Structure 1
């Protein structure tokens, strides 16, 4: 098995591409307690310097402590953990349940349009950088759309530029009801 690595715009996140599907539903782990839901995430959090793990559709993003070990020290043990997981054939998640429907039946027309744009245009673009953006809420009174950044996008120095120059402009163009886009921390 050959696993490629790619840098991301966030210098503290590295993207690992195992050349196969990783997760049907992108999943973010921000601490060791959450990582207990996955043998791979748990193994990665046991490595010195790992502070976050994100499973994308076909990649694993690992976040390191900015004051911890350098990537040159961390890469080999991370690659070994990822390889062990996929070679073993074990499930990625423990007690995998069904994911909630991202497109709720009670969504307004505007919210459904926002979610469709996120899924078709925004999420594929940020996935290339090892991250994900999720719908959080839309206030139909003020036009404020709030989004949740995950993976390499969370804490990335360029995430506010991505939101303002990219996502906000796209949303305002296609969904005139959107007046502003903000990030939920």
Structure 2
């Protein structure tokens, strides 16, 4: 089993991702070796003197370190230790089917390049389908989003994987509301609230183009653009609390249209990122200096 190392916006927390899920709709947080008695792997990790907290959820293990080391000095060794433990048959978490214990939820806020948006990261998987809501009417598939829109300062909401990006109105500062939002999200999820009912998500034309059955009907250049966006661009914008989707490619104008979602939507630096980053990348990788990238805010 191969471990992938993923950075987070919190420099003290690093994620070690597995190819498959390692828990069954459960998440765990351990502050010390005694709390980790149902996780042999977490107990082993606590023998490392820099390990402060271990989170296990979905397909990843996240570790918060003490400041005595930098992740760059130890992350490869930690990944190798986790791989060796699992590949040798070690148990990650002892599953007790007779115990239906409410697990603690950890939520922490991360800044994004968009000063109007804040990313709230949760230590459990929330959805397999990224969704964006502009108002409470659009949020019928997300009870959590509907509740968040009751806060008068919430303008837009984007939910993907294990985080919620909230965009606020300019009338209030994040210092005034961050703790309130973080606490609300934490309690909502801990009390069993539904984040997203994926069965209620309407088919989105923008999302459909990314699906394999529609992907196969696109021209070769459009397919290449989607592959580049998926592999090289999406991970970066996701780390900043946003998302990017392919919309269209005009062969005559050499114009690529993309949809920006979440924190990327309306971000002051998005124009620079599109022109100096994505556009130049597409020009180089497609060997076409005439390509133009245009954003359509989701």
TM-score, normalised on structure 2? 0.58
Match in the other structure for 1:163: 274
1:120-164 CA distances to partner (integer Å, 9 max, x unpaired)?
A: 110110111111111111111221000111100001100000100
Match in the other structure for 1:143: 254
- 2:210 aligned with 1:102: yes
Which structure has the larger Rg? 2
- 2:123 aligned with 1:11: no
Distance in 1, Cα, partners of 2:186 & 2:224? 39
Match in the other structure for 1:32: 136
- 2:123 aligned with 1:123: no
Match in the other structure for 1:52: 156
- 2:224 aligned with 1:113: yes
Residue 50 of structure 1 deviates from its aligned partner by: 0.3
Mean alpha-carbon deviation: is it higher for 138-147 or for 103-112? 103-112
Q: Give the paired residue count.
A: 184
Check conservation: 2:155, 2:167, Cα contact below 8 A: yes
Aligned pair in 2 of structure 1 residues 97, 7: CA closer, same or farther (>3 Å)?
A: closer
Check conservation: 2:141, 2:201, Cα contact below 8 A: no
SS of match in other structure, 1:25: strand
Distance in 1, Cα, partners of 2:168 & 2:201? 28
Residue 184 of structure 1 deviates from its aligned partner by: 1.4
Match in the other structure for 1:84: 187
Check conservation: 2:258, 2:294, Cα contact below 8 A: yes
Q: Which runs of 5+ in 2 are unaligned?
A: 1-104
The higher-RCO structure (CA 8 Å, 6+ apart) is 1
Check conservation: 1:130, 1:152, Cα contact below 8 A: yes
Runs of 4+ in 1 over 4 A off after TM superposition: none
Distance in 1, Cα, partners of 2:294 & 2:225? 14
Residue 175 of structure 1 deviates from its aligned partner by: 1.7
1:88-130 CA distances to partner (integer Å, 9 max, x unpaired)?
A: 3344224435864613131111111111111111011011111
Match in the other structure for 1:93: 196
Match in the other structure for 1:182: 294
Aligned pair in 2 of structure 1 residues 33, 59: CA closer, same or farther (>3 Å)?
A: same
SS of match in other structure, 2:200: coil
Residue among 251, 260, 263 paired with 1:152: 263
TM-score, normalised on structure 1? 0.91
SS of match in other structure, 2:165: strand
Aligned pair in 2 of structure 1 residues 114, 42: CA closer, same or farther (>3 Å)?
A: same
Residue 86 of structure 1 deviates from its aligned partner by: 2.1
Check conservation: 2:159, 2:165, Cα contact below 8 A: yes
